[in-house]
């Protein structure tokens, strides 16, 4: 399964992985994705309709873009976002142990195809 995920350039769903690994049970795919998520090997992003998508985690701490047309998942790092998180952390009573930031976009490829 890792070999298959490693070839994915864009986001993928658990169902897509199930379809491509015909000899592997659906429950095994979901359990494995959960373990890979907990280990930080994959990231989970949520489509606007609530459906989960996954992508291979390629950098340490990062945030995501998600094309609402084709499902491409991108990763980005930004110093301004990190400064904002530190500032917010100073104003919160308690310790931030995680956060999620996703930008829903129409990617350059979809824009180039004129699918506005």
- Residue 7, domain CATH: 3.30.1490.190
**CA separation for the pair 39, 83 (Å, rounded):** 26
Q: Which residues pair with 43 in a beta bridge?
A: 55
pLDDT tens for each residue of the chain, 116 residues long: 778 877 777 778 899 999 999 889 999 999 999 999 988 888 888 877 888 888 888 667 788 888 888 888 888 888 888 888 888 888 888 888 777 788 999 999 999 887 54
Count: domains in the chain: 1
Range of the domain at 62: 2-112
**CA separation for the pair 5, 33 (Å, rounded):** 10
Residues 55, 8: contact at Cβ < 8 Å? yes
Residues 64, 74: contact at Cβ < 8 Å? yes
């Amino acid at each position: 399964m890792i070999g298959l995920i490693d070839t994915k350039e864009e986001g993928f769903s658990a169902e897509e992985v199930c379809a491509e690994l015909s000899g592997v049970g659906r429950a095994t795919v979901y359990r494995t994705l959960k373990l890979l998520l907990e280990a930080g090997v994959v990231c989970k992003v949520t489509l606007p309709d609530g459906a989960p998508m996954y992508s291979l985690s390629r950098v340490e701490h990062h945030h995501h873009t998600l094309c609402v047309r084709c499902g491409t998942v991108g990763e980005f790092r930004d110093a301004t976002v990190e400064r904002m998180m530190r500032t917010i952390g100073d104003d919160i009573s308690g310790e931030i142990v995680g956060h999620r930031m996703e930008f829903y976009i129409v990617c350059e490829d979809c824009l180039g195809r004129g699918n506005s």
